Amino acid sequence: MHRFLKTVSSSEMRKTFLKSFLLFSVLILSQISFGKEKEDKHGEEGHGKDLKTEIKEYIHHHLQDSHDFSLFSYTKENGEHKYVGFPLPVILWDDGLKVFSSSKFHHGETLAEVDGNHYKLYHSKIYRTDANGTIDYDESHHPTNIKPLDFSITKNVVMIIVTGLLMLWLFSSLARSYTKNNGIPTGAGRFFEPIVLYIRDDIARPNIGEKRYKKYMPFLLTIFFFIWFLNMFGMTPLGINVTGNIAITTALAILTFLITNFTGTKDYWMHQFNPLGDSLPWYGKIPLYIILVPIELLGLIIKPFSLLIRLYANMQAGHIVIGSLIGLMFIFKSWLGSPLSFGLAFAIMLIEVLVALLQAYIFTMLSALYFGFASEEHEHDHGHEAEVAH
């Protein structure tokens, strides 16, 4: 790493400075966008509700997925509410495929009428209603209206597609530049090569083992960069929260779960159903296995479950903390509050940049660890028995 730094020429130093400056301005700008949205909302409906519930609602709204990509909104002089952003396609399955633009909802303010059916956007979910848009509730205040199957291209889906395309372009162009330059990294390759090598040499090799690690490398690299990029997108002023969405982390964890179990060796499954091996006669095993085998099987589910909860909770918590700290500005309402809230939010934002990398690392690391469990070979067990015998 030090060697690498010393060889950087002065023009590249300037570039590095420019890049770090850009990163800082993104961090600062995202706070401005947070604050701006908050302010507008305050101006609009600040009469009925008190400020604290409003900030809570705002943060909650920010954490959720939405059917349109709105950057910010403001209220005009004449009271008209203006949104800046673009609508996204809504795809519903409700006795046939219904495709329309989310601009029909006008950000939840109006009903969308498609083929004689009326749809209402209520708390970011689409319900079928009558022409007046009435929503019926049960005792616990849950809507009882019909909810059509929603396959819409929402904000999160857009960001996933964008990240996927970005990774496809970035890494395939990197691969091309490597073949062109006889394996010498250029440009972005200098940044990404150490990371890729780190994942191979410090995550995959020691955890999975020399023999089988190559098979898992594509998945580990993909999941690392996918999570890292999405986490970093969450720090931009676009106001997206993809990895803080439990459905997406669940999908990622299910991939790890499937790969672990479908590539598992015979010894891995023996370990699940016969954890004590030949160390006990069969009549000794029965009382133990009544407890042991269910625990081992539960462990199969708990491992990916902890993966998904960790990533989701970390990213969600980060966004809540930043949102709350910016909310302080509107609670204090004095010259003292703004710098305090700004400073705190900025510091947390810097920590979040670290957390973004750390969570991607932990997810990859633990996935590799689980793949390592699934790749255990029998010699390994013999080694253990020999140790016990000593």
Partner 1 sequence: MEIPVMVGAGLVVIGVGLGIGRIGGSAMEAIARQPEAYGKIQTAMLIAAALIEGIGFAALFAV
Part of the chain binding partner 1 (CB under 8 A), chosen from 80-88, 178-186, 358-366, 373-381: 358-366
Query: Which of 196/365 has CB closer to partner 1?
Result: 365
Report d(CA 153, CA 275) in Å as an integer. Answer: 46
Part of the chain binding partner 1 (CB under 8 A), chosen from 87-95, 118-126, 287-295, 363-371: 363-371
Q: What share of the chain is helix, strand, coil (3-state, %, to 5)?
A: 65, 10, 25
Minimum distance of partner 1 from residue 270's CB (angstroms): 25
321 binds partner 1 (CB under 8 A): no
- Is residue 224 within 8 A of residue 199, CB to CB? The reply is yes
Burial of 217 (0-12, 13-18, 19+ CB in 10 A): middle
328 binds partner 1 (CB under 8 A): no
Instruction: Tell the residue number behind the tokens 């009882």, with chain if given.
Output: 144
Cα 32 to chain centroid distance, Å, stands at 23
N-term to C-term CA, the chain: 44
Cβ-based neighbour number of residue 155 at 10 Å: 25
357 binds partner 1 (CB under 8 A): no
365 binds partner 1 (CB under 8 A): yes
Task: Tell which one of 301, 317, 331, 351 touches partner 1 (CB under 8 A).
Answer: 317
- Within 2-106, where are the H helices? 2-6, 10-45, 51-63
Task: Tell which one of 117, 154, 243, 314 touches partner 1 (CB under 8 A).
Answer: 314
- Which residues lie closer than 8 Å to 175 by C-beta, 6 or more apart? none
Nearest alpha-carbon partner for 223 in 322, 371, 349: 371
Minimum distance of partner 1 from residue 298's CB (angstroms): 15
Task: Tell which one of 70, 310, 340, 353 touches partner 1 (CB under 8 A).
Answer: 310
309 binds partner 1 (CB under 8 A): yes
What residues form DSSP beta bridges with 97? Answer: 93
Query: Which of 125/310 has CB closer to partner 1?
Result: 310
Minimum distance of partner 1 from residue 359's CB (angstroms): 9
Task: Tell which one of 366, 367, 372, 373 touches partner 1 (CB under 8 A).
Answer: 366
- Binders of partner 1 among residues 140 to 179 (CB under 8 A) are none
Cα 220 to chain centroid distance, Å, stands at 16
Task: Tell which one of 225, 228, 361, 371 touches partner 1 (CB under 8 A).
Answer: 361
Q: Which two tokens stand for residue 316?
A: 């969600």
Query: Which of 26/369 has CB closer to partner 1?
Result: 369
Query: Which of 148/244 has CB closer to partner 1?
Result: 244
- Which residues lie closer than 8 Å to 16 by C-beta, 6 or more apart? 8
- Is residue 153 within 8 A of residue 145, CB to CB? The reply is no
Query: Which of 1/336 has CB closer to partner 1?
Result: 1
What residues form DSSP beta bridges with 68? Answer: 87
Task: Tell which one of 157, 313, 340, 353 touches partner 1 (CB under 8 A).
Answer: 313
Q: Which x/- pattern, by CB under 8 A, does the window 186-215 give for partner 1?
A: ----------------x-------------
- Which residues of the chain form contacts with partner 1 (CB under 8 A)? 202, 306, 309-310, 313-314, 317, 358, 361-362, 365-366, 369
